[in-house]
A = this chain, B = another copy of it.
Amino acid sequence: MQHYEKDGRLQHVMLSHQFSIKLMEELFDIADHVKGMTRKPNGIEFLKSLLSHKKAMLYFTQPSTRTFLSFLTACQMVGMDTGEVRDPSLSSEYKGESQEDGVRVFSSYFDLIIMRDPKPGFCEYMAYLLDNTGRSVPIMNGGSGKDQHPTQALLDLYTMHRSFQHKGGISKKRYAFVGDLLRGRAVRSSVMLLSQYKDVEMDFVAPS
């Protein structure tokens, strides 16, 4: 996964493969701390000062109110300004532009892109394209085609972490995944994360 890294840190969040147990445990610790800070006004003010000099584009060409609001309020919690894009075209006036051109132009106004698009691989393709311009902007995959939904998967693992923190942790347990699994990109991403833990059994229940 080195091509989504830069100086030993994540440059883009694309696939759940990028998250080792070590990195996840670090993120869970940070999440626990942030959770505590959001209960006090001065904690909230401190969090809002962290990234108040940065701007995020919410590029949601595949709509989802829930995912949109959770990313929007996450940006607001760390003080980022946000802009929303629902229509992939640059302009109503001129025809014949590519969606790639649109993202490239819009990216010049922002420091971070959160991208949700129905086309499989589009998110990874844009990360590759932007890396090869003079000004690469980090992209977070907020749901890409049918393939991956890594941030939803991190949230699932964090929920398991909290549920089992006084019960021996995530390892050595049996998990059932129930639902329309074939189209479930979040489930696919969660399974990839969960399979790293020791002695985990997984059962899948889905309509045939």
Instruction: In the complex, identify which listed stretch (A3-11, A88-96, A121-129, A132-140) lies at the interface while the others stay far away.
Output: A88-96
Q: How far is the CA of A110 from the CA of B69 in the complex (A)?
A: 10
Tell me how many residues of A have a C-beta within 8 Å of chain B.
36
Verify B90–A66 contact, CB threshold 8 A.
Answer: yes
Tell me whether B85 and A63 are in contact (CB under 8 A): no
| Alpha-carbon distance between A57 and B72 when the two chains are bound, in angstroms | 11
Among listed A44-52, A167-175, A190-198, interface-contacting one: A44-52
List chain A positions with a Cβ less than 8 A from chain B. Answer: 41, 44-45, 48, 52-53, 55, 57, 62-67, 69-70, 72-73, 76, 81, 83, 85, 87, 89-94, 102, 105-106, 109-110, 180, 183
Partner of A83, one of B48, B55, B62, B73: B73
Count identical subunits in the complex.
3
Q: Is the CB of A110 within 8 A of B48?
A: no
Contact present for B102 and A85 (CB under 8 Å): no
How far in angstroms is the closest Cβ of chain B from A95? 11
Say whether A45 contacts B52, CB under 8 Å: yes
Report chain B residues within 8 Å CB of A183.
93
Q: What are 9 A-B pairs at a CB distance below 8 A?
A: A41-B53, A45-B53, A48-B53, A57-B69, A64-B91, A65-B102, A66-B105, A69-B83, A76-B81
Chain B positions within 8 Å of A76 at CB level: 55, 81, 83
User: What is the bound-complex CA distance between A62 and B91, given in angstroms?
Assistant: 10
Given contacts A64-B91, A67-B91, is CB(A73)–CB(B41) below 8 Å?
A: no
